[in-house]
Structure 1
C-alpha cells in the first residue's frame, strides 16, 4: 500500500522496475491504496521503468492512461495541505473499474496499515534506534505482510506475527488515539482482552469489534454495558438473556430493553427498571406487562395516553397514586373521577393549572379555585367565568402575581375603583386594565397621585406625551426622567422639576443641562458629593464648589486642582490675617 510509504521508502522497498512487478502490483492485487504522491514521482518510479523492453513499455503505457483517468477524475487531491488517502478497488473481472472501498469486504485492512504506520512514526522518534528497527525497516515489514496476506480476513494473523519484534508499537497501541480504529480493522487484535477493554473505556460500543469469545465474556460485556447500555446490542445471545447483565444495562439506559431476549422483556422487575430510566422503553415490554399498574406508574403519565387501559383510568386508587407521583396524570382519568372533589383538591394542591382538567362544576367551586391559586396564581385562567369576576378571588391572584390580572373578567378590568385598588398592589397591573380606563386622562391623574408615577408607563400612548402628566410624574418621582423620550429630557423645566423631587435624577440629566446654574446649585445644596458628576467647568467654578463643600466638606476632592488651590489659599490667608490682628489678653 503506497499510502504508508514516504518517497524514499518507495524507492528502496518497492522498486517497481520490471514487467513482473508491475503485473503483480496492478493486475493481481485487488485492493490498491493510493496517496497523493507527486505525479512526477509516480511516473519516475512506477510508470517509466528504465531499460524496459517494448512489451514492458506497452504495459506501462496502459497503466499510464489509467493513472491519467484517475487524475482527471479527481482521485488525487489534498486536504489542508496534508496527504489525503484515497481508496481505489480495481476488479479486473468486472465491468466496474472502481468500487467504493466502504463496500469492499476487506476495507479495514489498508486502514489498519495506515494506522500502524502512523503509530510507528510517532514512537520511532521517541525511542532509541538501537532497540527499535528503523522506519524504513518497519515500512518494509508492512509491505511484505501486505503482499503475503491481502486477500482474506484469515490472513490478519500474519500481521500480528510480523509485529512480534515491534513490542513498542504494541505498547503504543494501548495508549494511542488510533486504538479504536485498530481494534475495528484488525481481528487479530480483537482477541486481546486488554486492548478491547481499553478501547471500550473510550467508547463502549467498540464491543462490536471484539471477538465472539469476548462478546460472550460476562466481565467484558458487563463492563461495556455499565458505560453504555446500548452496548448490550453487541453482546452474545446468551448474555443478552442474562438477567444480571441486562439489569446493569437498563440502569444505564432504559431503551437497552430492546436488545434483551423475549423472556427478559417479560420480567416485571427489569421492565420497571427500564421505564424508570426511559418511559418510552415500555414499547419493548411484553404485552402482558403493558396493563400492569406498577409498570405504568413507574413509566409515568407520559405513556398513559398510549398504554393506559380504560379499566385503570376508572380506578380511583390507581389515579390517586398516579397523581401523587406525577401531576400530569389527571387528564387521563375518566370524566367521573375528574368530578371527584377529593381528587380535585389533591391535584390542584400539587399543581394549580390542573384545574383546567376538572369538571365545570369543580372549576366553579371557590374552595378548589383558591387552593389552585395558592399553588399557581395564573390558574385563574381556568376558573369559571363567575369566579374570574369575583373580586376576592382575583385580588388573591394579583397579590401573589400581578400579571394574573390579565385573566380577570372584563367587568373587573373596567371597574375603576377595583383597578385603582389593584394599582396600589402593583402599578404595572394597569397594563391589563380595560383600554377605556388606560385612556381616561382624569383616571390616570388620580391613579398617579395615589399609586405613583409608574402608572403613566402603562397608560394609553396618547397620554404618555402630555406635558402636564409628565410634569406630575417627575414631581412624584424624579428618576422618571429616565423613561422620557430624548426630546423631552432636554426640557429645562422638566429637568429642574425632576432634580427638585430627587437630586439623584441629576445623573439622568443630559450633558447640555448639567451646566445649568440653577439646576447645579439646587443639586449641590442638597448633596455636595454629586460634584463628581458635574462637568469640569462646574468643578472649576469656585462659587459652585463652595456651595458643595458647605453641604459636605469631602466634596472638595472632586473640585479641579486649581480650584482646590484657590479655596485652600484663601482659607490660609484668612487665618494669617486673624493671627496678625490678635493682641493677646
Structure 2
C-alpha cells in the first residue's frame, strides 16, 4: 500500500513513519518508485551519507544531489550523474570542482541553468551558443557579447528568435535577417524591422519555413492576392492566418482562387466559415471531400445532397435529419451501399415489412435493427437463420423457445448462441446435445445436464476447459479427464495431479501445465522435456533448477525463442562466455539480460552480429554508436530511422518504407534530397495510396500527372489523389480498373454520366470492389438482362444488388459461383438446398460450402469434394460429418 502511494502521490514520502525511513531495503524501493518527487533523498536523512543509496538516488533523480552529504558532493561520479539529468544541480556543486566539462554537461541537460554557472564561464562563446539554441532568453544577461557580428550570425543560425535581443543596427543587417528567417522551428521573422517584413522574398521564405509567419508579414503583403496565392501553393493551411479583409474578399469575389484553396485545404474546423460563400462553394467542398458533410449542419436536411452523398459513407445517413431518415428512397439507397444501414432508419421504416425484407436480402445482420414486431415474425427469422444462425440472439423470447428455429440457428451459427436459447429449451436434452456438439455451454444449461456423461463428453471434445463445470462424479472419470486435458483443460482443475499418466497427457498438450505439478514431476526428465517441446521452451520457467542450468537444453530452444533466457539459472547468467554463446545463437535475447550487460559493448556486439534488431535493447547510449549501428544495419536492423538519419541513403530508405511506410513522412522531413524521389514515394504507395499525401507536404510529385499515371497500387482510390485529376479521363479509367468505388469521386458530371452508360468500361471495372460499380450503371443497363449476365460472369457479387428473381435463377448462380466464393451468400434459400449448384460451387471455391444448407453440409460427396481441394474447408461441414471424417 505504501509503495503504491509513493508511486502515485507527491506528498506520500512526507507521511512515512520513522521506522520505514530507516529500513534500507524499503528506502531503495521508495527512491526508485518516487518518480514524481523532485528530490526523494531529502526525506531519508539517515542515508544521505550512504554512497550506494546516494548514487542510486542521483541516477533516478539528479536533483537529489542537493541532499547528499558534503562528503559525497565531492564524488565525481555522483556529480556527473546529477548533471546528466538535472543541470540545475550545478548550483550545489562545490565551486572548486566545477570545470568546463561539467558546465557543458549541465547546459546540455538544462539550458535554463545558465544562471547558476560560475561567472568565468558566462563569456565562453561555445557555451553560450549551446545554451541559446534552446534558451535564447539568456542573451538578455549578455548585452556586451551581442555586438560581434560573426558571433551573432552563428547565434541566429541556431535559433532565429535570438534576433530580438540584437541592436537595431544588427537587426537591419540583411544577412543576419535572412539567417534568422530560415530557421524552421524558431524563425525570428516576427522580430524583423517593418522594412524587412514588407520584402516579398523574405516574407515568402518565412512563410515556407513556418506558415505561422503569415500573421507577421506586412499588411500590404497580406492583402496582395498574388503573394497569398504563392503562399497557398507552398502550404495548404494558411487561410486562418490571412488578414480578415483579404480572406473575406476572396470568399466573396474571387471564386476560382477560393476553389484553389478548397482543393488544397482540409481543416474541418474552418469549413463552416465558407457557408456564407454560397451553395456553389459548399458543393465544391463536398465534391473534394464528402466527409466534410458533418461540418455543414444546415445541409443535413437537404434531400438532394444527402441522396448524392449516401454512397460515400454511412455517416451521411447518421447525420441526416430525422425527416430524411424517414424517407423510403434514401433508406433503400443506403441499404444498397452499406451493411447495417437499417439501424439509422426511422422507427416507422424499421417496422415496414417490405423495407426490412429488402435490407436482410442485402445483409442478414439488418435483422437486428428491425422493429420488435418484425423480429417476432417467424417467416422473416427463418429466412435469416438459414444464412446466419447467430441472429437468434435478437429474436423474441417466444421464437427463441421454438425448437425448430433454435435447431436451425445452431446448425447455421458461427458464435456460441447457447445463452440465447429460450429458457424452456435449455432443459430439452435434444437441443442441449446439439448445442454441446458445437459450443462451450455447460455453464448456461440446466444443472441436470452437468450429470449427463454424453453431453459433458460432447462439450469437452472441443472445449476441455468446460470440464470444470461438470458435476463431481463426472469429474472423477479418468477417461473424461484425459479428453478434457487433450482439449485445453488446465491441469489445475484436475484432482489427480499426482497421477503420472495424467500429468504426461497434460504437458503434452500444454507445456504451461508444468507449473501445476509437484516438485517430483518438475524434476522428471520425460515430463519436463515434453513440456519444453510443446511450449517451445517456455515451460523452463516452471522447471526445476536442474533443467534451468542445462546448457544443451537452453541452446536447443533459444534459437527460436529468445524468451528462454529469462528463465535460466542465475549462475549461468553470470557467465560471460555462456551469454555470448546464447547471443550468437539469438541476438534478441539481449532484451532479457540484466541492465549492466545491456550496457556492455562487447555483449551488445555479439547480439547484433546475430540479429541487427537487437540494437534497440542496448543501453547506455550504445544505440547511438555509429559502428554498432552499421553492424546492426548489415544484419537486418529494421526501423532504422529511430536511430537517426545521418547515415540514411536511398537504399536504406526504400528498405525502411517497405517495412514501415509510415516512417516516410519523418524521413522526408529530415532528408530534403529525397522529397521528390519517385522510387521512394512509389514504394510506399504500392502499400497504400494514402502515402501519396506525404509527398504533397514536401514535394511536387502529387501534382505530376505522369507520376500519378505511372503509380502502381492495389487500390487506386480516386479520392486519395488531387482533386484536379478526378476529371482526367485517363486517370479515372486507370482508377476504376482497380477500385470501382472511385466512380463516386469523379468530379466531372459529364464524365460520370458517360461512364455509367459505357458497357465496356463498366464490365472492365466490375471485378473490383464486389461489383459495386453496377449501382452506378444507367437505369437502362441495370435492366438489360444480357448486361446483368455479363456482369455476373465477371463478378458473382453483383447478385447482391439484384432482385429475388435473379437470385433464384440457377443458370446465373452457376456462373456467379465460378468467380467469387461469396456469391452463394446471395442465392435464394431454395437454391442453397440444390446439390448440383453447391457441388459446382465447392469445385471452384471449397469455402463456399459455408453458405450451403445444413443438409448439404452433411452430404459426404459435397464435403469430400471440398476438402479434396482444401482440407481446411472441413470446418464448414456439419458437426456430425466433421467427427466422422476426422
Return the TM-score normalized by structure 1.
Answer: 0.53
After TM superposition, give the deviation of residue 539 of structure 1 in Å: 7.6
CA contact (8 A) 2:863 2:877 kept: no
Which is further off, 429-438 or 323-332? 429-438
Which residue is equivalent to 1:478? 364
Given candidates 160, 180, 185, the residue that maps to 1:295 is 180
Q: Secondary structure at the match of 1:376?
A: coil
Which residue is equivalent to 1:329? 213
CA contact (8 A) 2:317 2:334 kept: no
CA contact (8 A) 1:453 1:476 kept: yes
CA contact (8 A) 1:349 1:372 kept: no
Query: Does the C-alpha gap of structure 1 residues 285 and 515 become closer, same or farther in structure 2, counting only changes over 3 Å?
Result: farther
- Deviation per CA, 1:437-492, whole angstroms, max 9, x where unpaired? 344x3443453465456554444566556565444433332112344578875654
Distance in structure 1 (CA, Å) of the matches to 2:229 and 2:382 = 57
User: Is 1:549 the equivalent of 2:858?
Assistant: yes
User: Is 1:365 the equivalent of 2:252?
Assistant: no
After TM superposition, give the deviation of residue 183 of structure 1 in Å: 6.8
Distance in structure 1 (CA, Å) of the matches to 2:248 and 2:407 = 66
Given candidates 488, 497, 503, the residue that maps to 2:388 is 503
Query: Does the C-alpha gap of structure 1 residues 497 and 529 become closer, same or farther in structure 2, counting only changes over 3 Å?
Result: closer
Query: Does the C-alpha gap of structure 1 residues 264 and 449 become closer, same or farther in structure 2, counting only changes over 3 Å?
Result: same
Which residue is equivalent to 1:389? 280
- Deviation per CA, 1:216-243, whole angstroms, max 9, x where unpaired? x322312322333233222122211110
User: Is 1:203 the equivalent of 2:89?
Assistant: no
After TM superposition, give the deviation of residue 214 of structure 1 in Å: 3.5
Query: Does the C-alpha gap of structure 1 residues 465 and 341 become closer, same or farther in structure 2, counting only changes over 3 Å?
Result: farther
CA contact (8 A) 1:471 1:494 kept: yes
User: Is 1:444 the equivalent of 2:330?
Assistant: yes
After TM superposition, give the deviation of residue 337 of structure 1 in Å: 2.7
Which is further off, 458-467 or 366-375? 458-467
Query: Does the C-alpha gap of structure 1 residues 473 and 208 become closer, same or farther in structure 2, counting only changes over 3 Å?
Result: same
CA contact (8 A) 1:352 1:372 kept: no
Query: Does the C-alpha gap of structure 1 residues 474 and 316 become closer, same or farther in structure 2, counting only changes over 3 Å?
Result: same
Distance in structure 2 (CA, Å) of the matches to 1:460 and 1:113 = 71
Which residue is equivalent to 2:309? 422
After TM superposition, give the deviation of residue 429 of structure 1 in Å: 1.6
Query: Does the C-alpha gap of structure 1 residues 301 and 373 become closer, same or farther in structure 2, counting only changes over 3 Å?
Result: farther
Q: How does 1:107-122 map to 2 (within 5 A)?
A: 114-115=46-47, 119=50
After TM superposition, give the deviation of residue 549 of structure 1 in Å: 0.9
Q: Secondary structure at the match of 1:404?
A: helix
Q: Secondary structure at the match of 2:183?
A: helix
Which residue is equivalent to 2:114? 232
- Deviation per CA, 1:296-332, whole angstroms, max 9, x where unpaired? 5537588777x46544443322221122112233333
Distance in structure 1 (CA, Å) of the matches to 2:415 and 2:64 = 72
Query: Does the C-alpha gap of structure 1 residues 407 and 293 become closer, same or farther in structure 2, counting only changes over 3 Å?
Result: same
Distance in structure 2 (CA, Å) of the matches to 1:376 and 1:457 = 30
After TM superposition, give the deviation of residue 427 of structure 1 in Å: 3.6
Q: How does 1:428-577 map to 2 (within 5 A)?
A: 428-433=315-320, 436-439=323-326, 441-448=327-334, 451-452=337-338, 454-460=340-346, 463=349, 469-483=355-369, 492-499=378-385, 502-503=387-388, 506=391, 509=394, 513=399, 516=402, 519=405, 530=414, 537-538=430-431, 540=433, 548-550=857-859, 552=863, 554=874, 559=879
Distance in structure 2 (CA, Å) of the matches to 1:516 and 1:491 = 12
Distance in structure 1 (CA, Å) of the matches to 2:100 and 2:357 = 83
Distance in structure 2 (CA, Å) of the matches to 1:532 and 1:78 = 53
User: Is 1:318 the equivalent of 2:318?
Assistant: no
Which residue is equivalent to 1:221? 103
CA contact (8 A) 1:327 1:350 kept: no
After TM superposition, give the deviation of residue 262 of structure 1 in Å: 2.3
Q: How does 1:34-433 map to 2 (within 5 A)?
A: 79-82=16-19, 114-115=46-47, 119=50, 175=55, 177=57, 196-201=79-84, 203-215=86-98, 217-251=99-133, 253-255=134-136, 257=138, 261-264=142-145, 267-269=151-153, 271-272=155-156, 275=159, 292=177, 294-298=179-183, 307=191, 309-356=193-240, 357=242, 358-363=246-251, 364-376=254-266, 378=268, 380-383=271-274, 385-386=276-277, 388-390=279-281, 393-398=284-289, 402-407=290-295, 410=298, 414-433=301-320
Distance in structure 1 (CA, Å) of the matches to 2:311 and 2:212 = 36
- Deviation per CA, 1:535-559, whole angstroms, max 9, x where unpaired? 78458469x9756413747469864
Of the two, which has the highest radius of gyration? 1
CA contact (8 A) 2:350 2:356 kept: yes
Q: Secondary structure at the match of 1:230?
A: helix
CA contact (8 A) 1:369 1:380 kept: no
Distance in structure 2 (CA, Å) of the matches to 1:113 and 1:532 = 62
Query: Does the C-alpha gap of structure 1 residues 186 and 454 become closer, same or farther in structure 2, counting only changes over 3 Å?
Result: closer
- Deviation per CA, 1:488-525, whole angstroms, max 9, x where unpaired? 7565454335446x43764755595567566567778x
CA contact (8 A) 1:241 1:260 kept: no
Higher relative contact order (CA 8 A, sep 6+): 1
Query: Does the C-alpha gap of structure 1 residues 283 and 492 become closer, same or farther in structure 2, counting only changes over 3 Å?
Result: farther
- Deviation per CA, 1:106-161, whole angstroms, max 9, x where unpaired? xxxx9998446x62xxxxxxxxxxxxxxxxxxxxxxxxxxxxxxxxxxxxxxxxxx
Query: Does the C-alpha gap of structure 1 residues 245 and 329 become closer, same or farther in structure 2, counting only changes over 3 Å?
Result: closer
Q: Secondary structure at the match of 2:94?
A: coil
Distance in structure 2 (CA, Å) of the matches to 1:384 and 1:546 = 60
Q: Secondary structure at the match of 1:82?
A: helix
Unaligned 5+ residue runs, structure 2?
A: 1-13, 23-41, 422-428, 438-852, 865-873
Distance in structure 1 (CA, Å) of the matches to 2:313 and 2:110 = 53
Query: Does the C-alpha gap of structure 1 residues 510 and 246 become closer, same or farther in structure 2, counting only changes over 3 Å?
Result: farther
CA contact (8 A) 1:515 1:538 kept: no
After TM superposition, give the deviation of residue 191 of structure 1 in Å: 6.0
CA contact (8 A) 2:347 2:371 kept: no
Distance in structure 2 (CA, Å) of the matches to 1:114 and 1:531 = 63
Distance in structure 2 (CA, Å) of the matches to 1:518 and 1:380 = 56
Distance in structure 2 (CA, Å) of the matches to 1:498 and 1:184 = 74
After TM superposition, give the deviation of residue 199 of structure 1 in Å: 4.1
After TM superposition, give the deviation of residue 382 of structure 1 in Å: 4.2
Distance in structure 2 (CA, Å) of the matches to 1:528 and 1:293 = 73
